[in-house]
Each structure stands twice: as structure tokens, then as C-alpha cells.
Amino acid sequence: MIDKALPPGSKIGIFGGGQLGRMMAIAAARLGFHVNVFSPQHVSPAFEVAHERTIAPYGDLAAVQAFAQSVDVVTVEFENIPLDTYEHAAKFTAIAPEPTALAIAQDRLAEKNFLTSHNIPVAPFVEINREADIVSAVYKLGPEGILKTRRMGYDGKGQIRLGGRVDPDAAIQAYRGEPAIFEQIVPFKLEISCLAARNYDGAIVFYDCPKNEHRNQILAESHVPANVPADLEKLAQAYTAKIAEKLQYVGVITVEFFALGQGTETPLIVNEIAPRVHNSGHWTIDACAFDQFENHIRAITGWSLGSGQRHSNAMMVNIVGEDMDRWREFATSEGAILHVYGKDETRAGRKMGHVTYLYEKS
Ligand code: AMP
């Protein structure tokens, strides 16, 4: 908890050195903060724009202590930071968000239980702890489902889609023995996400919900406006506000939704909660006066939040894997605002950068 707004010159620690940490560090530097990035990888995109770097495994608690003691507040750029590490840092400095938010986002079962306990709809699912559970899951929910590992799943990682006429034997073959859930396929019309920033006073600011398109289960494009009915967007914001309040959340939080269309019993189903800034909010850098990264920094340092209003319509396109070879084309195409993450190596499925296109606001 930060009692008084931290002045420029204060220090922020970020666990994780990826592109989200990089864009967060850039926003922090613009407000005059110094950033120390903690990452186990020697080459980390966030290191290049940080004041200080801590290179150590997350399990190195002495390094975690020194890192925490060197800053005024610690935050995370991704949710899979080991909880012990994050809680250890909390012994030496302020942290935001609270570890509970991470604990929930790290475990798909805990996340579903949290959401259902607050009457927020999720896809029908069955907990899988052994092979026999798959047989009963397929009987209960039907053969078309997704087997998702409970932990370390993002961008479709740890997911096996069982389409069509899959029998329980085939599902068992796909099961790798880890605690998992079997989730029914949701016949969604489109996917949207809701990004909100909440500060220590409980003030909350929303961005317009982007419509998100995935390819190979990785985000490919986000569009604002999403052109969904206003009441659907209001509902997404109401669910997000409830989640943020229940978690006493401080920082930017993102909730991913499946939208099922008007007239359905549950027009919105939560796919997952990301207790952090999010890829589907990258358009805010170019289309808003106060982007998601700045508002995250403002929230965790005890500042008032900037407006979430956008001045333009926007489309954000991810540059994934070999698409990065087209950088000249992106750099020279009219209206393309290019963001490159400075990753050491291009790999298939790896997010290398993004491009934002702005249009007149409708
Ligand atoms: P996740 O890693 O859970 O965010 O899933 C990545 C993407 O896979 C989602 O954004 C959806 O496009 C798709 N997906 C995940 N779960 C389901 C589901 N139950 N029904 C349909 N599509 C899904």
C-alpha cells in the first residue's frame, strides 16, 4: 500500500522482462520514475529501457530481497511469477497488485471458482485429475471441448482442442497427466476484452472494449470500437469492476470475454482474467492520451488515473514470428505506427512487435 503519491525520481521494480515490462518501463520513465527490471533471462526486451536490471532466477530469494529493497513499489508484467517470489518481495516493499490476483490467474480452476462464486458466467467445465475424469467429462459436456492444463497456460499454450466425434479414449490419449480442466467449446460470435485501471482509492477507469481476433490461439488483431451493443460493453465493464473490487485490485486488469450474441441467456462469458496490462490494449498507446501502461504506473504509485478516453478509432496488428522480416514494409506503409520489442531471436509464434493504425473516431 502506498499512502502518498510517489514523486518522480522514485523507483519501481518490475518482475518480468518481456515486451509488457518494456512498455511499462517506457511509460514509467516518461513520468520520471526509475525502473529496476527483474528477469532470469540475460537478454530481455525490458532491460534495454530500464535504469537497472536484476538478472537472477525467480527462486533466488536473496536477489528478490535486494531487488525489493532497491525500489519503492514492485509490480508484475506477467501473472506466472512464482507466488513465493512475489510474496517474498512484499516483505521488503509495497507491491501492487495483491498476490491473490496472481494466485487466481495462475490456476484455471481457482479462477473459475472465483468467478462462479461471484455469479460471473464461465464456460461449462469439469475438473480433471485423472484419466477416468475425462470419461465422465465427455459424458457430461459432450465430446467437443478443450482440455486445458490448470497452470502455465496462455496464448493457447497447454491446450488441446478435441473437435468433432472424439471418444473418451482419444481424449485420454491427449491427456498428459497434469491437473487440468475440460472446457466446453463456446459458440461465441466474437471475443472482446475489457481493460480497466483501478487505484488505491478504488477509483476505476475503463478503456473501450476492443474486439479481438485470434489466429492459432494467439491474438492477431484488436479493433476499437468493437461495434458491439452499448449494453454488452457496459456488462463487460460491470463484470470487470466487480472482479477488480473483489480482488482489491490496484493497477491495470484485463478480462477476456466470449460474446455470444443478443438474446442469449449469458451474452458474455469470461474466458480468463489477466492481472496485468494486456496485448489487446496496445492500441491505447497511440489512440489515447493516457495509455494502459501509464495508467498502470499511475495506479501503483498512488497517482490519480488518467482518462481512458480514446481520440481515434484504432486497429492493432501483432507482428508474430517471421512477420518481423516485413519490418521495412511496416516502417514505410502510410499510417502504420510501428512498435518493435527488441527480441533477440525470431521464433514461430513469438510476439515480436505490433503495428497500430489510427482512423477518425466514429
Ligand atoms: P486462452 O489461452 O484460454 O485465452 O485461449 C486462447 C484462445 O482459444 C481464446 O482466445 C479463444 O479464441 C480460444 N478458446 C479458448 N477456450 C475456448 C472455448 N471454451 N471455446 C471456444 N474457443 C476457446
Which residue is closest in CA terms to ligand 1's atom 19? 185
DSSP string for residues in 141-155 = H-S-EEEEESSS--T
Q: Of all atoms in ligand 1, which is nearest to the CA of residue 153?
A: 2
The whole-angstrom separation of Cα 155 and Cα 75 is: 22
Partner residues linked to 55 by β-bridges: 39
CA of 116 to the centre of ligand 1 (A): 18
Same structural domain, 131 and 177: yes
Same structural domain, 289 and 246: yes
Please check whether residue 40 lies inside any domain of the structure: yes
The whole-angstrom separation of Cα 309 and Cα 209 is: 11
State CA 180 to chain mean position distance. 20
CA of 258 to the centre of ligand 1 (A): 9
Amino acid 178: pLDDT: 82
Same structural domain, 89 and 26: yes
* Contacts (Cβ under 8 Å, ≥6 apart) of 307: 205, 288, 289, 290
Same structural domain, 161 and 257: no
Same structural domain, 335 and 224: yes
Are the C-beta atoms of 120 and 256 separated by less than 8 Å?
Answer: no
Amino acid 24: pLDDT: 98
Please check whether residue 114 lies inside any domain of the structure: no
Are the C-beta atoms of 302 and 344 separated by less than 8 Å?
Answer: no
Same structural domain, 203 and 340: yes
pLDDT along the chain (362 residues), means of 10: 93 98 98 98 97 98 98 97 98 98 96 98 93 84 84 65 61 75 92 98 98 94 96 97 98 97 86 97 98 98 98 98 96 95 95 97 80
Please check whether residue 3 lies inside any domain of the structure: no
Amino acid 261: pLDDT: 78
For residue 19, what is its C-alpha cell? 515486451
Please check whether residue 105 lies inside any domain of the structure: no
Please check whether residue 117 lies inside any domain of the structure: no
Instruction: Output the domain CATH number for residue 16.
Output: 3.40.50.20
* Contacts (Cβ under 8 Å, ≥6 apart) of 62: none
Find out whether the beta carbon of 219 lies less than 6 Å from any atom of ligand 1: no
Please check whether residue 172 lies inside any domain of the structure: yes
From 108, 111, 146, the mutation candidate for ligand 1 (largest count of ligand atoms within 8 A of CB) is 146
Amino acid 134: pLDDT: 83
Same structural domain, 81 and 137: no
Please check whether residue 59 lies inside any domain of the structure: yes
Amino acid 170: pLDDT: 65
Find the domain containing 80 and state its range.
Answer: 11-95
* Contacts (Cβ under 8 Å, ≥6 apart) of 264: none
Same structural domain, 54 and 151: no
Please check whether residue 217 lies inside any domain of the structure: yes
Find out whether the beta carbon of 272 lies less than 6 Å from any atom of ligand 1: yes
The whole-angstrom separation of Cα 47 and Cα 60 is: 19
Helix axes 83-90, 61-69, angle to 10 degrees: 40
Number of domains in the chain: 3
**The last residue of a domain, from among 157, 184, 211:** 184
Helix (H) or strand (E) holding 272: strand 268-274
**Prediction pTM value:** 0.95
33, 37, 347, 341 alpha-carbon torsion, rounded to 10°: 10
Amino acid 67: pLDDT: 98
Which residue is closest in CA terms to ligand 1's atom 2? 156
Instruction: Output the domain CATH number for residue 150.
Output: 3.30.1490.20
Same structural domain, 129 and 214: no
The whole-angstrom separation of Cα 133 and Cα 233 is: 36
